[in-house]
Amino acid sequence: MISDAIKHYHSLLHGRLLEDAIDRLLAGTAQHNLTFGVRPICTVLRPMLIAAERYEYIRRDSELVLSAIRKLGNALMTDKTLRAGLDLSAAEEQLIAIEPGFAAPDASGRLDAFLDSRGDFSFVEYNADSPGGLLYGDVLSELFMEMELVCEFAKRFPVRRVAIRPRILQTLLDCYRQWGWQERPRIAIVDWKEVNTRAEFEICRHYFESQGYPTIIVDPRDLEYRGGWLRAGEFQINLVYKRVVVGELIERCCADNPLTRAVKERAVCLANSFRVQALMKKTLFALLDDPTNEYLFTPEEIASLRRHIPWTRKLTEGFTTYHGRKVDLIEFAVSHREQLVLKPNGDYGGRGVMLGWESDEEKWRQAIEDALGASFVIQERVEVLQETFPTLTGGEVTFEPRYVDFDPYTWGGEEVEGAGVRLSSSALLNVTAGGGSATPLLILET
């Protein structure tokens, strides 16, 4: 059905329908400032189409993986020996010790996955700290649903979108209620003023205020904690939507700052909580893939982990197992360059990631040696699906292959609903990569 649907969608890309689609995408991009720096967030004219049955399969199995992550996260908070494998700094340990006041530290998260040609998928990391792009995708799905092209397409292939803005607000309010709901919250969206995702915060602020919740966007360096209130000027805050990355907050403001003091003294509810720092480390996947930790999980969760989590190990000297076979990890990593990825444990956004199959032998060997002096993981390569997308460049539309990154959204550490989609002409998928673009997810009804 998907191939027929895509073929039909592409056949409609001409004349008035094409002109309307281009006009609406360009107008929406300008209206909502859908850019990353100076680059448009979306440069394609087709959404990611996925059959309802496949979407439900991904959602259900993602919830099993998320359940395993939740159980591992609880064990990490109580078992110092297990937590030592994350290589947390003293400052990180200090922050994750702060009680958040609600059950799931990852109030909202993003499980970064790649679909494959067999109809299955593999997760490669968990963005539990400050998942971005949710608002961009939400607005893009609205824009596409309003296109005459999509309306015409839906006459033959009915589609639906997943609304994300209401889910974000509801999740924040759920955390606030668990925390103690003192009064109707005044919300602060907190991140650096110079980040390229500022437009996303404006979309979020506009929606929160439309629902009756006063909201401000503020740099953590502009926060004050005085008189028992976390403040931005005279704006008193009791609920923080944390978009600032914990590691960067520590680096720029140290672990003791107005935000951390206010959270520690229960003057403000912070979501996501600082405890996501334990979940965003790449070594989390090495712990999920380690057979010695299977006692934490149900048989169903174990089966889902084995199906969707690629072989991952913390890079260290010594022996390990590779699909049941004992191997010297460093020797194996050096000699199996074509099937491995090297990742820094605590970074994000694709920074510092090295793809073995795109490196020569000497550079790969040197990278492995250098990584031994730091904190890195080695992960097995997974298949990355390619699809053809109509791409808008300089007013012209061309059909070009793009790698697809499909990232289910997590809510409250228990539920999965919706997904972000990123496209790239490079195997290292990121919106800022060559040919990078976001596109909305639309679900094909049966």
φ/ψ bin of 140: left (φ > 0), alpha (ψ from -120 to 50), beta (otherwise): alpha
CATH number 3.40.50.1760 is the correct assignment for the domain at 2-150+160-280+385-444: yes
Model pTM above 0.85: yes
| pLDDT exceeds cutoff 50 at 434 | no
- What is the predicted pLDDT for the residue at 428? 59
CATH class of the domain defined by 311-380: alpha beta
Q: Where are the chain's structural domains?
A: 2-150+160-280+385-444, 311-380
- The residue-averaged pLDDT of 62-86 equals 96
CB 338 within 8 A of CB 357: yes
- What is the predicted pLDDT for the residue at 346? 84
For residue 146, which phi and psi values (nearest 5 degrees)?
-90, -10
| pLDDT exceeds cutoff 80 at 435 | no
- The residue-averaged pLDDT of 232-259 equals 96
Write out the H or E segment, with its range, that includes residue 419. Answer: strand 415-424
| pLDDT exceeds cutoff 70 at 431 | no
Three-class SS of residue 218? strand
Three-class SS of residue 210? helix
Using one digit for the tens of pLDDT, what is the confidence trace for 157-206?
Answer: 999 999 999 999 999 999 999 999 988 999 999 999 999 889 999 999 99
DSSP string, 97-153: TS--SSS-S-SEEEEEEEE-TTS-EEEEEEE-S----HHHHHHHHHHHHTSHHHHHH
How does residue 430 score in pLDDT terms, banded at 50, 70 and 90? very low
Q: What share of the chain is helix, strand, coil (3-state, %, to 5)?
A: 40, 25, 35
- What is the predicted pLDDT for the residue at 397? 94
- What is the predicted pLDDT for the residue at 373? 84
Asked whether the domain spanning 311-380 has the same topology as the one spanning 2-150+160-280+385-444, the reply is: no
Q: Over the range 356-370, which residues count as b (16 or more CB within 10 Å of their CB) and which as e? A: beebeeeebbebbee
Q: What residues are paired with 319 via a beta bridge?
A: 328
| pLDDT exceeds cutoff 60 at 260 | yes
Using one digit for the tens of pLDDT, what is the confidence trace for 332-385?
Answer: 999 999 999 999 998 776 678 999 999 999 999 999 999 998 999 999 999 999
Distance CA 121, CA 124 (A): 10
Distance CA 358, CA 360 (A): 7
